[in-house]
Every structure is written in structure tokens, then in C-alpha cells.
A and B are shown apart, each in its own frame.
Chain A
């Protein structure tokens, strides 16, 4: 599928090692935008690049531009805590997120790019009997749908995560947990880069440092986008601009049911392996995993205040760290190395919005909230399907904008802590 790209392999590494790495070619090009494409995708993050890849691969549409305001993968794709899982409550969510996990499982080979999907298992802790019942409800929902998930007893959790505070008298005693073993983490930048390289290889133009400043709408349809690098026309447009969706919608003349808020993320200094799984705690709204480099990657602290600041917040950071240290007392000896914030689009039901926008040839991929990274493969595939066929894919059908009028929301408050 990546015909124009030399294959990456151990052999290629050997060859390039022997000749001083001179033979590596650009992972993607930096073309000047053409005046006209068949399809234009706004947003060069994971979802946008994945959509471009799928337009080319699934639908044979290669005269495609991906327009990125800054540098590709620089939005939430490069700011999240890299968790991939499908432990959702509603069938529609399970179907779409599990399809995403399935793609992720083979993505490194598909893209010929190691995205380092590490299926370490994601553990969601229960600190009370009532929380355990809640987890059972979700685990059963998944098992009924044929999605791998199971409950863990307190002893099982403590054996798997030995650094957890085992005391039944601590503030967040471990009563049990749910685990999805297929869940895990991946190298977030690599996902964007892998898609970018593969899409570029199939002829997609990836145009960075290109800000969309307006839409030219004629006869109720988008004719072109105005950008900082000129006007670009296309038959069909897609937008995958988490954190900037309301802004772009405004340029196109409509509103979205989204609230943009800041999610905090942070990492510790690197450590020798000490935490195998992704561990999340619902009441704490905090989650932690250890990266391949050894850093503890910690997230949480979602505050429902509109913000586009993309910066870390001291109070929230301290709160998240406090609860993580309370659960893992030995982490008190560690140091926080870096913290940042990302702007996420949150939707009223914690489910994404996929489908046509009020402007017929502009399609939406937004509202993933804190969980967009795990859906990059499927989110892009769905956007590509919508753009290529003008119709919903079976998996995206429940997630259209019209659900807010009918009231048929896909409430994922049950999916537990939003830990991504």
C-alpha cells in the first residue's frame, strides 16, 4: 500500500547503518498546496491523517490534501496519554472503539511503521463495593458483546500492580478492578507519522503551517477553503480538528454541541519498569501508565471550564498527583518532570460526533472528548467513508449530529473514568 515509500525493516536498518544512514528518504513531503483537490481534510492530527490514508486506501481517492495549521500530529495526537481501549458501555460505542482496537493491533504492519502498540492491559480500580458493581455492569456489557474484559479480585489486582497501596484503611482502598487485557498504550506521535508517511506514499499532499481562515460557500455547499496559503477548492471536505471544532464550525456558519476544555497530562522522570498496566481510578479521575522510556504518564484533572489555553494548571496537577501518590505511596519519592494541557472537545454524552454537518459536503469528526487517540484508526476510516460515499458507515451511524434533536444520545457516563 505504500508503494512509493521504501520499506522499513531490520534489513533496511542494517543497510543504512552500514552506509551512515544516508539512504533514508523523507517520511513525507512538504508540497505547495494545489488550487484544487478531490477532497480536503482540515486537521493534520491522527484522525485527519488516518482519514486521508483511508480515502486513498479504501476508496482510491488520492487527490487529497490534509491541511494542518501548525505541524502534523501537534494537537491532541501529540499531547494525550496514549491509552487505547474499548471498555465502553453502549453497544454503539463498543462497536466503534473495538473496531479501532482491532485496527491498532495490526497497524504497525499495515503502515510499515512501528507505532508500538503495547497491549499491557488497562485496569480500572474499584474502591468500594458499589463501584465494583458498576464495573461489573460494564464488564458484562462488554462480554455480552463479545469484547474481552473481566473482573479482578482485590488480591489479583494487588498481585498484578504490587505498588498499589494494599491497606484496606487507606483513602482509596482497592476492592477490586476491571481489566481489559487487549487495551494498552502506543507511541502517539508514531501513529500520526505512520499515517502521514503512508498517506504521502499514496499521493496525499500534507500541507503544514496552513491555517484555514474561511469557507467559500456557494449554493449551500463548500466550494473552497480560504487558507493562509491560498484558496483551496475541493468536491468534499472533512474536518478533524479537536479543540478547534467550534471555531471552524463558526467559519462555516454553524454551531456544534461542544464544550472545549483543558485536560491535564504529565510525566515523571524515567524509571526502571515498575508499573506494567494502565491503571485508572474512577473517583479520582486519575490514570497512570509507564512508557517504554520509563516515564510514568499521568493524566486527569479535567475541569469543565471553556479554555483554549493548552497549558498546565498547578492546582489540577497537584490534585492529580496527590491522588496518584495516595494510591501508589512509593511514587512519593519520584519527581514530576513535565506537564502540559490539551484542549479537548467534549460532547454532552461523552460520545463523538461523526457525520454530515449542516453544510452538505462538509463532514464532521469531532467531540471525542478525552478519548480521541484510541479512535484514530476508526475515526479516520469513518470520516473517509462519509467523504467518499456521502453516507454513514454502519459503525458511525449512531453518532450523527441529529441525535441531539431526537434525544437519542449515547450516554457514556458509564464508561467510567475518561482516561486517555
Chain B
């Protein structure tokens, strides 16, 4: 058996394949949209700070920071940490 620096990890990057979860930095909630210039203070605060923080299934930005550097959208359960589909993030 050989030393395997990556191994079949729990997260599969659409660009790099299966990798360890620790390679993927958390990048926030992709459902939050940046409001336009005319928005209210409350809208801006909501955009900046208010989060759903789901307990259980969640969609989240992940950056493959120690890999290809791509921003991804991952389905992940915040209790079990089991990961579902991971796709490329797009504007």
C-alpha cells in the first residue's frame, strides 16, 4: 500500500476529481444576491450579514483553494457533512 496524499476524498471537484474536504475553503451562501446601488440600508445589511444557516442540507460556495482555485457550488449537509453534487459557480 502506498502513501496517498489525496486519497478518494469526500469532495469531488468538477475540475480536479475527488479531493479532501480541507482543500475547499468555504465561500458563503450562493443564494445571496448583491443588491443594486439604490437599495436600502436594511437591504444592504441583509445582503452582508443575514444568513439562513440551515441545519441539514445546504448549498454553499466552496473554493478549491488548494487545487484549481475555482469557485464551486456544493450541496452539503451541515450536520453529517455528507456532500452531494458539486458544480462550477457561475455569475
Contact = CB atoms under 8 A, between A and B. Distances in A.
A257 B50 CA distance: 4
A307 interface: yes
Contacts of A257: 45, 48-51
A292 to B, nearest CB: 34
B32 to A, nearest CB: 11
Contacts of A308: 55, 78-79
Interface string A289-321: 000000000000000111111000001000000
Nearest to A307: B78
Contacts of B26: 304-306
A315 B49 contact: no
A408 to B, nearest CB: 11
B44 to A, nearest CB: 8
A306 B78 contact: yes
B46 to A, nearest CB: 8
Contacts of B51: 246, 255-259
Nearest to A305: B26
Nearest to A245: B53
Interface residues of A, number: 22
B80 A260 contact: no
A258 B53 CA distance: 7
B48 A404 contact: yes
B22 interface: yes
Interface string B58-91: 1010000000000000000011110000000000
B52 interface: yes
B42 interface: yes
A247 interface: yes
Contact of A306 (B41, B49, B58): B58
B49 A348 contact: yes
Contacts of B60: 306
B81 A259 contact: no
Interface residues of B, number: 21
Nearest to A254: B50
B23 to A, nearest CB: 11
B10 to A, nearest CB: 13
A404 B49 contact: yes
A255 B50 contact: yes
A355 to B, nearest CB: 15
Interface string A101-131: 0000000000000000000000000000000
Interface string B21-52: 01000100000000000000110111011111
A315 B45 CA distance: 35
A405 to B, nearest CB: 4
B55 A405 contact: no
A412 B37 CA distance: 29
Contact of A307 (B41, B45, B46, B81): B81
Nearest to A247: B55
A290 B48 CA distance: 40
Nearest to B44: A405
A91 interface: no
A130 B3 CA distance: 40
Given A247-B55, A304-B26, A406-B41, A309 B49 contact: no
A413 to B, nearest CB: 16
A260 B48 CA distance: 16
A171 to B, nearest CB: 21
A339 B8 CA distance: 26
A256 B48 contact: no
Contact of B79 (A255, A309, A405, A406): A309
B53 A348 contact: no
B65 to A, nearest CB: 12
Given A309-B81, A405-B41, A255 B52 contact: yes
Given A306-B26, A309-B81, A250 B42 contact: no
Interface in A298-356: 304-309, 315, 348
A246 B81 CA distance: 18
B50 A348 contact: no
Contacts of A259: 51, 53
27 contacts: A244-B55, A246-B52, A246-B54, A247-B55, A255-B46, A255-B53, A256-B53, A257-B49, A257-B51, A258-B53, A259-B53, A260-B78, A304-B26, A305-B26, A306-B58, A306-B78, A307-B78, A307-B79, A308-B55, A309-B79, A309-B81, A315-B22, A348-B48, A404-B48, A404-B49, A405-B41, A406-B41
Given A250-B52, A256-B51, A305-B26, 13 more contacts: A246-B51, A247-B55, A255-B46, A255-B51, A257-B48, A258-B51, A259-B53, A306-B53, A306-B78, A308-B79, A315-B22, A348-B48, A405-B45
